[in-house]
Chains A and B, each alone.
Chain A
Amino acid sequence: MTAKKSVSISIAGAGGAGAMTAGDILLQAAGKSGWYGIMNRSVGPQIRGGEAAALLRLANHPVECMSDGFDLLIAIDWKNANRFAAEMPLKPTGLVIADPSAGEVPDAITAYGAEVVEVEIKKLAKAIPGGRENMISAGLAAGFIGLSEDYLMEIISAKLARKGEEAVEASRLCLEAGMKAAANIARNFEIGAADMKNKGRWLITGNEAVGLGAIRGGVRYAAAYPITPATEILEWLSPALAKIGGALVQAEDELSSINMAIGASYGGRPSITATSGPGLSLMMEALGLAAAAEVPVVVVDVMRCGPSTGIATKSEQSDLNIAVYGFHGDAPHVVCAPLSVADCLYTGQWAVHLAEAMQVPVIVLSDQSLGQANVLMKRPVNLSFLANRKVYKEQSEEPYMRYTITADGVSPMAIPGTPGGQYTADGLTHSVRGTPSTQRSDQEDQMDKRNRKVVDFDYGIHWGQVSGDGKKTVILTWGSMTAPAKEAIRTLKSEGVDVKLVAMRLISPFPKDDLLDALKGAKRTLIVEQTHAGQFHSYLRANCDLPGELRQFHRPGPHLISASEITSQIRDWVKS
């Protein structure tokens, strides 16, 4: 086994300069080479133009988050570089490729102390008929990391097939010019041998993965209202559902989209919608209806900075409270969260399974950092989680009781069209038959039954992830913060500090026994989350007595909590 190695590259330029395209091509070619990788985009609020940077990390081992520092910055120009500088910290050992025609390298960049080398990117592009600066940049990056030109050309040829051979040839010449320029600079960032034994790679975003997971789980209907950063789920689902005989309908607002999904599910089709914080706020009333009327439905909330409109393009974990507590009345439901971009596939599929098995609303808390990141992952296996709703099948002598009291709380659901199964689904407190009721016994019995469904369900090993060699020192986190926590634990291990990771995929109902079991022997637990208020910490403390000494590390977006921040929290604590 070769040593684990990763290289982080950022390509920056004004919107329209093609930095994203260059990043996409590098990422795909890296996949062909058997490498792994992740790409994030940093874009401003402008719809077109403004600033843009492709942030890439390529490696010979699976990577789940960006690294703390960049090795290589290729700047097509310096427009808005000051805004970006904090988001792409350069390692002191890093390298900056700057075009002298773009003017002085900004202070915010030179402050990192990385070497600056000038390459006349624009001039090189101009010398080639139809040449483009972003392809020169891709060539530079490929040269430094040792990416094969053949793989790059395979991707480019497919991408530019419609534009004709001249465009492909111009790109080839640009790549070669870039690679040649890199060869003349006495630095290299080679990633080294790829994992060729398991070469099959998928390139997928978290938003696409959650959509695919839902379809794998059995979803055949989606309702949509666009919102950043969740729209890509819906845009992926629309043609995907059409291809397999399902359907997506664009609604007039989120009040409508959630009700459409509930209506379709009542009709017997596993259903989903996706949104972000503002949309989730609008959906809460209908989610309460789904809980009371016992209609399965999945809502994916791709969280962004809040409150209110907040920062639509940046990540946060601050919808935890609304997802857990946002219902009026007591409304048992499930909240779960993917632990990485690749895990969006797994959690998306699991969520459908849970919703259907328990006839409850399930809220999936993804976020912008997962949803809009593009990863190269191992080709995933299919899972056995499938939509399996307990349905009323035949007419019998006994009259059908939709909300009959059962041991596990789940009652057979009649699907419209089934003779003898007619009932009225209702948000009013109802009797076992579904008839509106104001009786104390109906209120209590139905509440007990709905609670039992969720609390007694066997979530198995899927409630969370426990890893690492430590016993006494623990990082306790959830959702997207799992990846930087794991990276911090690897760094700490190399320094001789063993730390255990406990990451929660199941948020609600609270997996108390599993969590306390995982925390057995813990002396120091650091609770990590991307919120201003420490919502996760409060939620944990409200639900159990955590062992040992506790500390919390939390701050809001827009900048993601990095592995190095978590590392230094533990380092300082262990030292003291």
Chain B
Amino acid sequence: MNVPANAFTNKDFTSDIKPVWCPGCGDFHVLLSITKALAALGRPPENIAVISGIGCSSRIPAYTNCYGFHGVHGRSLALAAGLKVARDDLTVIVMGGDGDGFSIGGNHFLHACRRNIDMTYIVMDNRVYGMTKGQPSPTTEPDWDSALSPGGSGLNPFQPLVIALASGANFVAREFSGNIKACTQTIKEAVEHPGFSFVEILSPCVTFRPDQKEWKKQTHTAGVEATDDPARAARRIMTDDGMNTGILYRGTRAPFKTKVAETFGDISALEQDFEI
């Protein structure tokens, strides 16, 4: 293979900080996939910003060698929206977990999809609050037993892909963290696709959800081409078993236009409006 001399490897995007994650956590694989995808994209690390909220997976920015912002719980999409509008030249990637993204940050998720700013949102979904030691999240199964909701929450799980599509996301995909090759390729395509790209990565929590070790066997590739027809995509993701992986929707909606310019005009024209 013909590799240019200045090509990046995933090491160029990886920091020396040791993750807080438990051994066996799916997030290690996501970190590997994202750094591989960034290397494949070929943009230097200083031109990439990784933005997150709070939770185990939200620790990820510091584990990359990119610019990072580890914000408050649930608001990563808002931080990222401000950054991308202010700095259109940067590649902005938002990463976090299911509690951060779909519970406390649920409203921002809807509006980020709607707004369609050109950025990528990767949710590491393990269907549990791990950092607070095992409470049900919006994607947890209704009968999952825990101290906070004995016998299960009894609530239907939130369907992130369906919501993303209905809210206007321009790219919708699901992957399994253990499939590094597929994750890397999907993340790369998500970043390259214009507008708001959403990737759900099923990333097992081996500590509080040991049952998720089975995900390796349960997930399967969709084996279909991505469609640009939202109705077809909706049917596909509403009827699948939630373990179906691949790029499921690739829309054609024009991204959000508003952005801050590189240089600025004279403000005296604004002041003239106040002259009597």
Contacts and interface: CB of A to CB of B under 8 A. Distances in A.
B86 A422 contact: no
State the 6 A-B residue pairs at the shortest beta-carbon distance, nearest first. Answer: A263-B82, A245-B261, A424-B68, A260-B82, A31-B276, A259-B78
Contacts of A271: 82, 86
Contacts of B69: 263, 266, 293, 424-426
A245 B90 CA distance: 18
B267 A244 contact: yes
A113 interface: no
Contacts of B81: 249, 251, 256, 260, 263
B269 interface: yes
Contacts of A268: 86-87
B243 interface: no
A270 to B, nearest CB: 10
Interface string B51-92: 100000001011001111111101101111111111101100
A264 B270 contact: no
Given A246-B260, A416-B67, A421-B46, A264 B107 contact: no
Contact of A420 (B46, B72, B270): B46
Contacts of B51: 263
Given A28-B276, A267-B90, A252 B107 contact: yes
A255 B75 contact: yes
Interface of A: 28, 31-32, 200-204, 208, 212, 215-216, 220-221, 223, 240, 243-249, 251-253, 255-257, 259-269, 271, 285-286, 288-289, 293, 376, 379, 414, 416-428, 434-436
Interface residues of B, number: 53
Nearest to B51: A263
Contacts of A376: 276
A426 B62 contact: yes
A253 B51 CA distance: 19
A285 B269 CA distance: 37
A263 B108 CA distance: 14
B265 interface: yes
Given A246-B261, A260-B81, A416-B87, A215 B270 contact: yes
B23 interface: no
A267 B83 contact: yes
Contacts of A435: 17, 62
B267 A289 contact: no
Given A416-B46, A424-B70, A259 B75 contact: yes
B270 A243 contact: yes
Interface in B103-161: 107-108, 110-111
A221 B86 contact: yes
A446 B270 CA distance: 41
Given A263-B79, A422-B67, A240 B62 contact: no
A28 B275 CA distance: 10
Contacts of A259: 71-72, 75, 78-79, 82
Contact of B75 (A266, A286, A426): A286
B214 interface: no
Contacts of A425: 68-70
B75 A256 contact: yes
A220 B264 contact: yes
Contact of B85 (A240, A244, A245, A264): A264
A247 B259 contact: yes
B260 A264 contact: yes
Contact of B83 (A202, A240, A264, A289): A264
A245 B269 CA distance: 13
A288 B71 CA distance: 10
A379 B271 CA distance: 10
A208 B81 CA distance: 25
Interface string B8-52: 000000000100000000000000000000000000111101010
Nearest to A27: B276
Contacts of B47: 416-417
A426 B260 CA distance: 25
B258 interface: yes
B82 A212 contact: no
B240 interface: no
B211 interface: no
B196 to A, nearest CB: 14
A285 B72 contact: yes
A428 B70 contact: yes
A216 B267 contact: yes
A28 to B, nearest CB: 6
